[in-house]
Amino acid sequence: MDAITLLTFFVLSVFVGFEVVSKVSSTLHTPLMSGANAIHGIILVGAVIVAGQAESTFVLVVALLAVLMATINLVGGFVVTDRMLQMFGRRRPSAETAAKGEER
């Protein structure tokens, strides 16, 4: 494929991705993030495979950049998912509240 076609696919995928994610209700974000983390793991493995089979310096640099970006995306997804799951968990009493409870 030529560069214009690839650029067109990229721009359209960014637009469609933004539209789809912006329409998701907040109760579905945690399951959506879990699925996205699995997909990002597959992308990371693919980027590592491409980097391992690179024959030119340009392909190697782009593949290593893809590995870096996929790693950041994967780790960030797990951090956000963990934080969202903590919002749904029980709140632990703070030290001040626990001390007041012992005084009674």
Distances from the Cα of 63 to the Cαs of 2, 7, 12, 36, 60, in angstroms?
A: 19, 18, 22, 21, 5
CB hemisphere CA count around 35 (13 angstroms): 6
Q: Answer whether 0.85 is exceeded by the pTM.
A: no
Instruction: List all residues 6 or more positions away from 102 whose beta carbon is below 8 Å from its beta carbon.
Output: none
One digit per residue, the tens of pLDDT, for the chain of length 104 reads 788 998 999 899 999 988 887 787 766 766 777 777 788 888 889 989 999 998 999 999 999 999 999 999 888 888 887 887 787 777 766 666 666 666 55
Residue 79, pLDDT score: 85
The answer to whether the CB of 45 falls within 8 A of the CB of 71 is no
Residue 62, pLDDT score: 92
